[in-house]
Structure 1
Amino acid sequence: MERENHSRVSEFILLGLSDQPEQKRLMFLVFLLMYLITGLGNLLIILAIRTDSHLHTPMYFFLANLSLVDICFTSTTIPKILVNYISGNKAILYISCLAQVFFFSWFAGLDSILLASMAYDRYVAICAPLHYTMVMTPRVCVLLVAMCWFGACANALTHAILLTQLSFCGHTEIPHFFCDLNVVIRLACSDTFINDLMIYTMAGLIALIPFIGILISYIHIFVAVLRIPSVHGKWKAFSTCGSHLTVVCLFYGAIIAVYFNLTSSHTAQQDTAAAVMYTVVTPMLTLSSIA
């Protein structure tokens, strides 16, 4: 009965990035522009890969999936930000907040695992080119992508279910521009030990393990490229990985700064700035991966 008395709130208040009218107008235009660029740009990538038979290769298959995920990823947070700026209403329903946590965790996890899959694809292409067609078969590519989707979904569903078990006792202001899992958990008045434990456990599986896999892949790639005799060959090999590696560094760097910062010195503003990087800026950089 005591658990029921700690009734779940019906809505949360997203404090956003700023309360200054001038800054809000500027941020609305910036977010809108970045959202349009990300959505239209990634959509064009998908259409180009779908219609051009020359692009029906494993690398572009992974890129098309990454572009789709980035469209969904930004659509989870940015439209709500834009609506809040237009209406002036910062409220978000509890169920909508829960849905945002689920989809954000799903697509963030997908980004992480797909980046690792792309790193593996480039590792095979550069380090074992003679075996590439035998290793990266269409069946293997589809299985890898399916595992990415279902694995990330299981991770997100776990966090969403555990979040429904928490009680919130009145403090409903979220110092963020979306319902971030870490921030929402801090508002709970019930025990969050299991939630915190699962964040670090699942994040280790979804973020750190793929990140380590990417590092290992690029170490082998770097060694293999150094063995290429011609300067042109080295430059061509590095150029196929440069954009991908840049996105990896920004995406994982921001996530690690937010979710694996064990010190108490970081602030909500720093968390928000890092979140802007991997929720808005990084998806835009996916557009350069086709180069």
Structure 2
Amino acid sequence: MRIGREATPGRTHAALQAFPGRLEASAREARSAPRAGAPCALPDALLLPFLPPPRSLPIPARGPRTCPPMPLDSPAGVAACGRLGNRSWVREFVLLGIPGARGRERALLLLLAAVYAGALLGNALLLAAVGTAPRLRTPMYFFLGNLSVFDLGFCSTTVPKLLAYLSGRSPAISARGCAAQLFFYHFLGCTECLLYTVMAYDRFAAVCRPLRYAALLRPRACAALAAGTWLGGCAHAALLTALTFRLPYCGPAHVAYYFCDIPALLPLARGDAALARRVSFTNVGLLSLGCFALILASYTRIGVAVARMRSTQGRQRALSTCGAHVAAIACAYGPVIIIYLQRRPSPLLGAVVQILNNLVAPALNPLIYSLRNKDVKDALRALLPGRSPLRER
């Protein structure tokens, strides 16, 4: 049975001769991809196997805008930026540093390096004192040791990269490094806020419930509270990091800040960042305000209890211990509330407040908790070389 016209040897020979010409014409059409500066257009997916290995492809844009060249660094490089989903064009970000700090790099480097060294030394000594002195093995000093660990990590999340940038090294940071910096910054910051709340509860139980203090804060209960702060901070940071880096970042990759934070990264995203902005504002703002409200309620009850004390010595001891905690809370919560709840962020004000929160507060905490605390000062003296351990009284 014959279908259509009969295939003769002459027609078959002519078709075979014309096939190379048609293939070459298809390849020429595939090579005529739009270049940088031309209107956006993406070649047909069927012609992609014929493309030569170009170094750049245009990004589809809306309207009459032109396409800047973008590197083909990923397997999805042939797709448009809006079609990338959770993949990112950007492989590294460039941190622009502290706003308005140009020409002052050397002075800032010396100042911040000295404060950073003081923060590391002070928290390390306080952690060693809490861990070695038997007199300091109480719930209050257990949480204080946790706070020293978080302060060591918190200032080390952002300051080393800032010091490297101020010393003249490259300000670039990889995309994975940027995500890690964002995660650990919010993980340690959230955990520290929760830990301050737990420490306020500890002071409330010690002052207002002294007879039940040992039952309320048993070693197992203290470990559960500390683990809860770690898990809460991890969940908080994982949510914010996932929402931030699920957006496509196609460039430019210049972060107008000295570390990777959500308010500085979201303006670079090419996708809809409304959800990430809303969740970060709500999560960070409400978490800080909620913990601060609980701390304020605890210290209101403590103030009422101290006012009713008849013993002057007991009142001074309670005010000394609680005053140090209140000062540390003011250093930690004030910058967070100022940064994330301002409607029109100021880059310079935000940078100054962040440095106070990231570096100055961790450096002040060992001084705050040790200057007026005789037990901590005795434990620190015992750590000095040539000093014999103090006898337990």
**Shorter-chain-normalised TM-score: which range?**
over 0.9
C-alpha separation between the residues in 2 aligned to 1:27 and 1:147?
37
Q: 1:209 aligns with which of 265, 273, 290?
A: 290
Structure 1: distance between partners of 2:338 and 2:252? 26
**Distance in 2 between the 1:8 and 1:155 partners?**
26
Residue of structure 2 aligned with 1:198, choices 253, 260, 279: 279
In structure 1, C-alpha distance between the alignment counterparts of 2:308 and 2:227, rounded to whole Å: 35
Q: Deviations over 1:110-142 (max 9, x none)?
A: 110011111110010011111100101101100
3-state SS of paired residue (1:88): coil
Q: Which aligned segments of 4 or more residues in structure 1 are displaced greater than 4 angstroms?
A: none
Residue 227 (structure 2) pairs with residue 146 (structure 1): yes
Cross-structure match for 2:129: 48
- Residue 349 of structure 2 is aligned to residue 270 of structure 1: yes
Question: Partners in 2 of 1:51 and 1:236 — Cα distance?
Answer: 23
CA distance in 1, matches of 2:222, 2:102: 48
Query: Which of 181, 185, 189 is the matching residue for 2:262?
Result: 181
Which one of the candidate residues 125, 132, 141 is aligned to 2:213? 132
TM-score (structure 2 length as normaliser): 0.70
Q: Is the 8 A contact 2:88 2:247 kept in 1?
A: no
Cα contact 1:169–1:189 (8 A) shared by 2: yes
| 1:19 shift after superposition | 4.6
**Residue equivalent to 2:83:** 3
Whether the 8 Å CA contact 1:152–1:206 is kept in 2: the answer is: no
Cα pair 2:285 2:341 within 8 Å, conserved: no
What is the aligned partner in structure 2 of residue 84 from structure 1?
165
Equivalent in the alignment of 1:15:
96
C-alpha distance 20-202 of structure 1, shift in aligned 2 (>3 A): closer
Q: Give me the whole-angstrom Cα distance separating, in 2, the residues matched to 1:184 and 1:230.
A: 55
Where does residue 25 of structure 2 map in the other structure?
none
Q: Alpha carbon RMSD of aligned pairs, Å?
A: 1.7
Corresponding position: 1:31 with 2:112: yes
Letter in 2 for 1:276: I
Aligned residue among 302, 305, 308 for 1:227: 308
- Percentage of pairs with the same residue: 36
Could you tell me how far 1:74 is from its partner in structure 2?
0.6
TM-score, with length taken from structure 1: 0.94
Write 1 or 2 for the structure with the bigger share of helix.
Answer: 1
Would you say 1:57 and 2:138 are equivalent positions?
yes
Q: How many residues align?
A: 288
CA contact (8 A) 1:102 1:157 kept: yes
Q: Deviations over 1:7-31 (max 9, x none)?
A: 431222211125534x211111111
What amino acid maps onto 2:348 in structure 1? Q
Check whether the contact 1:66–1:114 (CA below 8 A) recurs between aligned residues.
yes
Alpha carbons 2:105, 2:167 under 8 Å: kept = no
Structure 1 letter corresponding to 2:240 = H
Q: How far is the alpha carbon of 1:175 from its aligned partner?
A: 2.0
What SS class does the counterpart of residue 93 from structure 2 fall into? Answer: strand
**Which residue matches 2:338?**
257
List runs of 5+ in structure 1 lacking aligned partners: none
Bigger relative CO (Cα 8 Å, ≥ 6 apart): 1
Q: Hey, what's the Cα distance between the residues in 2 that align with 1:203 and 1:24? A: 31
Describe the SS at the equivalent of 1:92. strand
AA aligned opposite 1:227:
R
Deviation, 1:97, is 0.7
* Counterpart contact for 1:58–1:138, Cα < 8 Å: yes
Larger deviation: 172-181 or 250-259?
Answer: 172-181
The separation in 2 between residues aligned to 1:7 and 1:72, in whole angstroms, is 28
Q: For 2:365, which of 281, 286, 289 is the aligned residue?
A: 286
